[in-house]
Amino acid sequence: MTNSSIPTLSHIHAKSPSLPMHNPTLQQWLLTSMVPAPIIVSFFIVVIFYIFKKRSRNTIKTKKAPEVVGAWPFIGHLNLISGPKPCHRVLGELADRYGPAFTIHVGTHPILVVSSWELVKVCFTTHDKSFSSRPVHKAIKFMFYNEDSVSFSRYGPYWRELRKMITLNLLTHHRLEMLKLQRVSEVEACFKKLYELWTKRKYDNALVLVDMSKWLLEIPFNVITRIVSGKYNFASKVERYKNVMEKTRSLMDTLALSDAIPYLGWLDRLRGLDNAMKRAAKELDSVLQSWVLEHRQKRVAVSAGTGGLVNVNEEDLEEDFIDIMLSIMEKNQLQSDDPDTLIKAVVQEMILAACDITTVTLTWVLCLLLNNKHVLKRAQTELDTQVGKDRQVDDSDIKNLPYIQAIIKETMRLYPPGPVFERECSEDCEVGGFRVPAGTRLWINLWKLQRDPNVWPKDPQEFQPERFFNDQTDVDLKGQNFELIPFGSGRRMCPGVSFSLQVMHLVLARIIHGFELKTPTGANIDMSTTLGMISWKATPLEVLMAPRFEPVFYM
């Protein structure tokens, strides 16, 4: 047989049109292979079966968390969490039905809701980096300088440098000690006003009715604005900022439809929400920009000699957080295209966060003490024993007041300032055997988690500070005990924990040490909460007060 008589590949293909021409390599292998066809077929069947089985096993192991039934088209479960009952209570009831991890949809966004400390620990240890970003809502874009703040910027190099600047330069133990004078002086000024209020209204040494909701909002605001900006409460610009901040709080609690369903943003514009946020942002920026400008002018005058300062007063000579941040910017220790915007974002965030956390906690502390008078009495006894009756409480006394510390812990356990806090998953991961795709939002229901009877076996719904002397003696608020994390945990934990606790402990100790407290009617305080992001008391807290000691004590 000549070579011309040997059939070529092209000849075979011409006779066998079923073999595709676009893969000659495969054709050659099939035609020239000495392996019997049944073995080849069997091999591929085994491979396909193995792949299918492996995928099925992985699917079983990493299924998504159970989804709550009753989702509506387009809005998902928005109807469930936007009713008259607070969101954290609704989510708590759903956890009783679906378990400690379940899924809901708010508009187009899938949300994993977690209320178990074991699962939270996985989120903020094993997958901490994956959950280190927060969703960006419309209020953040418009009123918080579009993610320039440490709380709302995306996790990455910029966030890490910003967080480093704040933790190493503004909120260190050394820095807070340096600012002790300003902090204590503002607290003392507020307590003098409280005593003066009693002297003006009292009749025959009787108790005087005081709106503590307003007073407890003013005292942390005065402290933080003094430390951050050097401004005293009587400054007109501070009052202006305080007023617009109230508008900001209200707008932050207003549901933006575009946050749930992005293509409905036009409805937010139609109902005036966008313009309202922009107006509030403009007012806030105007005040904050004037503060930054004043600090820049002061620095120029100081560098030129004190003669450049006109009408020098005490606040001009104090170094505050704005001064420190300006120094950092001048040394190029933090790169920013717009240093003023960065400073304003940090200042606004620190003031709002410190005021809200401190005010909400102190409000609930007084409510719980007035509803549990035996706890109030024991706390006053501890203060009288450790501090005495001839002087007021100082920061240095707090370490000797374990019951006061336990009261703060127990209050934040039952009434965390933010009962539900939010993160966003940046990459696929697995939590508690459930698959969490990238882009899923994470809601931690602190209100439910911190009342878990498996962790707090003795009356978890009741106010019992004594529990921190028994089974939970080592539990603190620093984010490592996942059964009690009102300040969060992981790399996104609130950086101002130490500062907030210093103010809370000092203010609480001075109130109950210096004044007798009673309810106006003798009945229990109403404990209902608002429906927003922060668990404010729904009704004003009015308290009857009178001094416990002689007038010289308050001078």
User: Which residues does 512 contact at the CB level (< 8 Å), separation at least 6?
Assistant: 369, 376, 379, 380, 383
CA distance 319 to 120: 39
Q: What is the DSSP letter of 525?
A: P
The tokens of 208 are what? 């005087």
For residues 384 and 441, is the Cβ–Cβ distance under 8 A?
Answer: no
Residue closest to 295 by CA, chosen among 362, 246, 255, 237: 237
Residue closest to 408 by CA, chosen among 533, 511, 532: 511
- Separation of first and last alpha carbons in the chain: 123
Q: What is the DSSP letter of 110?
A: E
CA distance 251 to 349: 15
CA distance 154 to 163: 12
How many alpha carbons fall within 13 Å on the CB side of residue 48? 6
Q: Name beta bridge partners: 133.
A: 424
Residue closest to 431 by CA, chosen among 110, 10, 112, 190: 112
Query: Annotated binding residue at 494?
Result: yes
Residue closest to 366 by CA, chosen among 188, 507, 209, 202: 507
Residue type present at position 32:
T
CA distance 538 to 532: 10
Burial (CB count within 10 angstroms: exposed 0-12, middle 13-18, buried 19+), residue 209? exposed
* 3-state secondary structure at position 114: strand
* 3-state secondary structure at position 125: coil
Site of tokens 């304003």 = 344
For residues 115 and 85, is the Cβ–Cβ distance under 8 A?
Answer: no
The tokens of 451 are what? 């009342």
Q: What is the DSSP letter of 255?
A: P
Q: How many residues does the chain have?
A: 555
Residue closest to 547 by CA, chosen among 413, 392, 418, 398: 392
Q: What is the DSSP letter of 137?
A: -
Strand order of the β-sheet with 109-114 is: 101-106, 109-114, 441-445, 420-424
Q: What is the DSSP letter of 133?
A: B
Q: Name beta bridge partners: 435.
A: 430
- Helices (H), ranges, 253-272: 257-260, 265-270
Give binding residues as ranges. Answer: 494
Binding site for heme: which residues? 494
